[in-house]
Structure formats: C-alpha cells, structure tokens
Amino acid sequence: MQISVIGCGRWGSFIAWYLCRIGHEVSLYGRPESGNMKRLMQTRQNDYLQLQDGVQLTTDLACCDNTETIVISVSSQSLDGLCRILANRNLKDKTIVLCMKGMDIATGRRLSQVARDALDASCAIAVWLGPGHVQEFYRDVPNCMVIDSENETVVSRLVNEFSSSLIRFYYGTDLIGNEIGAAAKNVIGIAAGLLDGHGLGSLKGALMSRGTREISRLIEAMGGKAISAYGLCHLGDYEATVFSVHSQNRLFGEKWVKGEEYGKLAEGYYTVKAFHNIAEKSRLELPICEAVYSILYEGKDAYMALESLFTRTIKNEF
C-alpha cells in the first residue's frame, strides 16, 4: 500500500518507520520550516529512531495526491487548519487515519468530526489509538492498539494491513467512546504527574479506578458506550500514560508542580479545557477533570485541588 504520513514529530516519524518496516511504500511529510524535518532531511534520524532508506522525506503535500491512505499525526489544535489545506487537494475516496488524541477546544468536536467537516465527503475517516511509546516499539517491545471508524470495511482493511508481530490491532466498535477515552487518558496522565510531583504516587490506583469511572460517564453522556473507557483507548493506555517515564502528559504534570518548564507537547493540557467547556454546557460532573482544569487554567494550588477530591460527599463506589 502507498501511504503518506503527515507530521514529522515523535509519533509521526515512528508511524513512517513502522509502516515501512511492515512492507508499505511510505512518504513522510513535514513543513519546510520544521526543525524536526530539517534534522530528518540531514541525518534521517531524531532523538527516537533512525528512518530506513525506504521512507521518502518530503516538504510538499503533493505526496498525498497519489497515495491510497493518509495518516495524520499533528497536534490536535492544528488539525482543523491542516484539513482545510488538504481540502484543496483531490482526496476523493482516500482513507484518512488520525493518530492524535485530543478534542478541538474551540468547538468541542472530536477529531474525526473535525476531519469529516473539512474534507471531501467521499473520504473514509479512521482513528489509530491505544498504548505504546516510540522508545519501546523501536526496541521491539510489542503492544496492542485499536483502529476505529464509522466504516466497518475500512476498519477491517486497516487492521489487516497494519497488524504485525510488533503491534496487535483490535477492531474498534465505538468511534465516539474510543476517541473521547483516548483524549481523556492524557488528562488522567497529567493528574498522575501532579500526584508524582507531590510524592503521592500511591494514590494512582485510586486515580485509575475513579478516573475510568468518570470518563465512562463522559463517554456515555456524549453518545458512546460507557464500557469503552475500560478498553485499550483509555484504561488500557494507563500504564503508558500514568506510570511510564516516557509519558509526556505525566511528566508535564510533575514539572508543573515543581515549577519547571516543559517544552514538549502535552495534549491533556488542551483536552481538559475542552472537557471543562463540555461539562459546563451539559452540567456533567467530572471532578478529576475539573481539579486538573482548576490547577492549569485557574491557578489553584495543586495540592489543595487534589485534596478537595477527598472532601467530596462520600458515596457508593458504583
């Protein structure tokens, strides 16, 4: 299969490496001004991996014109702008696979909705979600992930064409639940980092349990299946997000508590604002998300915000 990957950051470069490794013809696009792309053009490597000679590097979106499948890995808040640019190209009948985890802050839309609203109606939109870190995949540590779409035929084709001994893909059956759950796990990751920053790592078990319950209610309120929160998109991604030293969202939360700068992308920072807006409009109770929001956007002391979760009215666990 001919595949174009858009986005030359950590995850985008891994996707290009992985798809080339399992036998696909792959081109990797990055903006001409991108520092990541300039480095790849010069050395074919970054801080995470070395790209094979078979991956074609390009700064021209014309690479998308003659490929069957376009895989996108950019920041969630830049997806709308990218899709509007892509809409000017002939993408008729192409498959678009989104590999980011987030929500559009301005509109509260899921990312598949952002792509659907901007691109040709004939395009099939799919999402590639689940646990795993580039550093571990690159040293041949396997994991399980999920692909979902409103088009079951597309899900089946992508699972069959993308699966290997390194990544076992499952068929997604709840696009809404999988997208929301995947976006929300980054918020829980930041909460875990806030706990780490205060030396409260032993509370991560409670965070995982109550966090999954909270997100299951959010998924259900937004039209998805509550049980999806317990799958690979959310609970299945907790080890990689809540505990791993490679977790960008966890590290962001830890550095926030310590007052240290964090220069990398932590999608949970944007996602929690989108969830806050949704909760306000729907009057949905999301105590963990609201605690994280109050810390990041309202300047509330992290320890006090976390402590407030313990002073809430005692209730049945389920």
Q: Going from the N-terminus, what domains does the chain have, and what CATH number goes with each?
A: 2-171 (3.40.50.720), 176-308 (1.10.1040.10)
- This prediction's pTM: 0.95
Counting residues of the chain whose pLDDT is more than 90, the rounded percentage is 93
How far apart are alpha carbons 93 and 231 in whole angstroms?
Answer: 30
Please, which pLDDT band fits residue 314 given cuts at 50, 70 and 90?
Answer: low
pLDDT for residue 240:
95
The values of phi and psi at residue 143, to 5°, are: -155, 175
CA distance 240 to 131: 6
Strands (E), the chain: 2-6, 25-29, 55-58, 69-72, 95-98, 124-129, 143-149, 167-171
The CA-based dihedral angle spanning residues 150, 151, 154, 156, taken in that order and rounded to the nearest 10 degrees: 90
Alpha helices in 148-265 (DSSP H): 152-162, 175-197, 204-221, 238, 248-258
Burial class (CB in 10 A: 0-12, 13-18, 19+), 76: buried
Hey, which residues does 128 pair with through a beta bridge? 147
Given the residues 92, 94, 101, 185, select the one marked as catalytic: 185
Q: How far apart are CA 5 and CA 27, in angstroms?
A: 6
Question: 7, 34 in Cβ contact below 8 A?
Answer: no
Backbone angles phi, psi at 67, to 5 degrees: -110, 150
Q: What is the pLDDT of residue 311?
A: 75
Residue 36 pLDDT > 90, yes or no? yes
Mean per-residue pLDDT, 82-107: 95
- Return the structure tokens found at 134: 């580039």
Would you call 38 a catalytic residue per the annotation? no
Rounded Cα gap, residues 51 and 148, in angstroms: 27
Residues 46-71 have a mean pLDDT of: 96
Tokens at 112, concatenated = 């598949």
Query: What is the DSSP secondary structure assignment for residue 36, as one 8-state letter?
Result: H
User: pLDDT tens-digit profile of 145-170?
Assistant: 999 999 999 999 999 999 999 999 99
Provide the pLDDT confidence category of residue 203 given band limits of 50, 70 and 90.
very high
62: Cβ contacts below 8 Å, ≥ 6 apart = 89
30/35 Cα distance (integer angstroms): 9
- Indicate if the pLDDT at residue 310 is higher than 90: no
